[in-house]
Structure 1
Amino acid sequence: MDTQLIEEVIHDEQIEIDVRNAQRDLIILKYMAWRLRSILYQLDQAEKQGSEQPLPRQVQERCGRNHRIVIYRQQELLQLRSFAFVGFISKRKGVLQPEVVEAIKQTDQKLVAELVHAPSILSYSSLELPGGDWCNLVVLADSGAKMHIKNSETHIHAAHHLAHDYYKWIRLHNGTMPEGLDPVEMRLLSTKYYTFHPDQQRPSLRERTYGTRQVKEIKTRASQ
């Protein structure tokens, strides 16, 4: 039996699975962008022109699922210009300690409050998915704004001290919105796939970039 051929088949199948997952995730992220745009257009004139930050909104989706939207820079979001975005979709572990669940909840609330002071963060949305998992969409003025989140002490604490005990896997998407909040034009640029293992403190990591016709795997390594 040709083991190299088997490995190539497995590798190709993994790419196909990754592409399908990314396409499904993008559909969810596009819906979240559409919902954000709808809420922006529903703001009254005072809210559109006002300086109050943030503007929190709560939407009840189908089956009673929650959709929390925090608008930080409403005037910028209404502009027809290019934005960047980060999409975060995850799967929780089957059995969770109550204190870990509460810590994740508190961390999310703290991060939302901290982002008020990051001028390039335009909005932060959290959509509850079937089964109790969540999808997050962060709209950014430019791709460099990702560093505001990555360097946040709250984010660092969650990544290093909470993620291993809470998540089974994470898909972290980076993308572009060349026509503003028009969801039709949203495009993925790259994805990081984190998988958490019981016997490893750090997750394994795969990264992929997306071209017009192909998906290119960058690397597979232990996360640092």
Structure 2
Amino acid sequence: MDTQLIEEVIHDEQIEIDVRNAQRDLIILKYMAWRLRSILYQLDQAEKQGSEQPLPRQVQERCGRNHRIVIYRQQELLQLRSFAFVGFISKRKGVLQPEVVEAIKQTDQKLVAELVHAPSILSYSSLELPGGDWCNLVVLADSGAKMHIKHSETHIHAAHHLAHDYYKWIRLHNGTMPEGLDPVEMRLLSTKYYTFHPDQQRPSLRERTYGTRQVKEIKTRASQ
């Protein structure tokens, strides 16, 4: 078997692995959307029509796992209209310094508080996974709202100063919710795969976009 053929086989296997991982992640994100919708329908009339922001909720999932949900725009979330979403699933490093863990926790709390002032951020959910890792789901009024998070000083600080010491890898999904919070209709549009290496500060990055029948690899490079 020649070298080119071996590389093609490895490449095809990587695509299959990426697709399977993305499909599993989407199942988790759909569950989180379902839980968010359930909580919205349980709000009393005053909460549904009120202007109090945010509305934090804590749900105890199976095996004692935590599910934190922060609702920023309850009236918009109840509308049957198209939303965008960002899904963040990660794996922590095996050995972590306590100060790094605390810094990540404080950063997450700060970001949740900051998002109150972003009118296109509708909700922010964090689900504890088996093993102590977390999955985040951010529901957005439109895809342009992602730029508010990306340009947040808190987000930039976490990405450039904390992520390398905390994460082994990150899968960052972008998708659409064409029927509002109906989880059945959630679709992935693209995924960025970040892998952190001990010998380099910046993670490597692969990005894939999803069509109706295939997955297309966009790039493989060291992230900027």
Q: Structure 1: how far apart are the matches of 2:173 and 2:69? A: 19
- CA–CA separation in structure 2 for the residues paired with 1:148 and 1:136: 16
Q: Give % identity.
A: 100
Residues 2-24 of structure 1: CA distance to partner in whole angstroms, max 9, x if unpaired?
Answer: 00000000000000000000000
1:221 CA drift (Å) = 0.6
Offset, 1:59: 0.0
Tell me the distance in 2 between the aligned counterparts of 1:95 and 1:152: 28
Q: Distance in 2 between matches of 1:191 and 1:180?
A: 21
Size of the aligned set, in residue pairs, is 224
Q: How many Å apart are 1:101 and its aligned residue?
A: 0.1
For residues 57 and 195 of structure 2, the distance between their equivalents in structure 1, rounded to whole angstroms, comes to 32
1:179-202 deviation digits (Å, cap 9, x = unpaired) = 000000000000000000000000
TM-score by length of 1: 1.00
Q: Are 1:83 and 2:86 an aligned pair?
A: no
Distance in 1, matches of 2:194 and 2:32, equals 23
SS of alignment partner, residue 79 of structure 1: coil
Mapping of residues 40-59 of structure 1, within 5 Å: 40-59=40-59
Query: Following TM superposition, by how much is the alpha carbon of 1:111 offset from its aligned partner in structure 2, in angstroms?
Result: 0.1
Deviations 1:161-187 (A, max 9, x none): 000000000000000000000000000
Match of 1:120 in 2: 120
CA shift, 1:115, in A, is: 0.1
Give the secondary structure class of the aligned counterpart of 1:96. coil
C-alpha distance in structure 2 between counterparts of 1:138 and 1:147, whole Å:
13
Whole-angstrom CA distance in 2 between matches of 1:210 and 1:202: 25
For the residue of structure 1 that corresponds to 2:139, the secondary structure is strand
DSSP 3-state at the match of 2:67 = strand
Equivalent residue of 2:198, what SS?
coil
1:81: Cα distance to partner? 0.0
Offset at 1:96? 0.1
RMSD (Å), alpha carbons: 0.3
Shift in Å at residue 32 of structure 1? 0.1
Match of 1:33 in 2: 33
> Per-residue displacement from partner, 1:14-53 (whole Å, max 9, x unpaired)?
0000000000000000000000000000000000000000
Query: How far off is 1:149 after superposition?
Result: 0.2
Name the residue aligned to 2:188.
188
**Structure-2 separation of matches of 1:139 and 1:29:** 11
- Structure 2: how far apart are the matches of 1:8 and 1:195? 21
- Structure-2-length-normalised TM-score: 1.00
Matches of 1:175 and 1:131, distance apart in 2: 26
| 3-state SS, counterpart of residue 35 of structure 2 | helix
Partner of 1:6, secondary structure, is helix
- Partners of 1:72 and 1:191 lie apart in 2 by 25
Residue equivalent to 2:100: 100
CA shift, 1:151, in A, is 0.3
Q: How far apart are residue 106 of structure 1 and its match?
A: 0.1
State the distance in 2 between where 1:44 and 1:219 align: 47
Superposed CA deviations along residues 72-121 of structure 1, whole A, max 9, x for unmatched, are: 00000000000000000000000000000000000000000000000000
Q: Distance in 1 between matches of 2:180 and 2:131?
A: 31
Helix, strand or coil: the match of 1:131? coil
* Runs (5+) with no aligned partner, structure 1: none
Q: Is the partner of 2:200 in helix, strand or coil?
A: coil
CA distance in 2 between partners of 1:31 and 1:119 (Å) = 25
Alignment of 1:70 onto 2:77: no
CA distance in 2, matches of 1:69, 1:213: 34
Q: Which runs of 5+ in 2 are unaligned?
A: none
User: What displacement does 1:218 show?
Assistant: 0.4
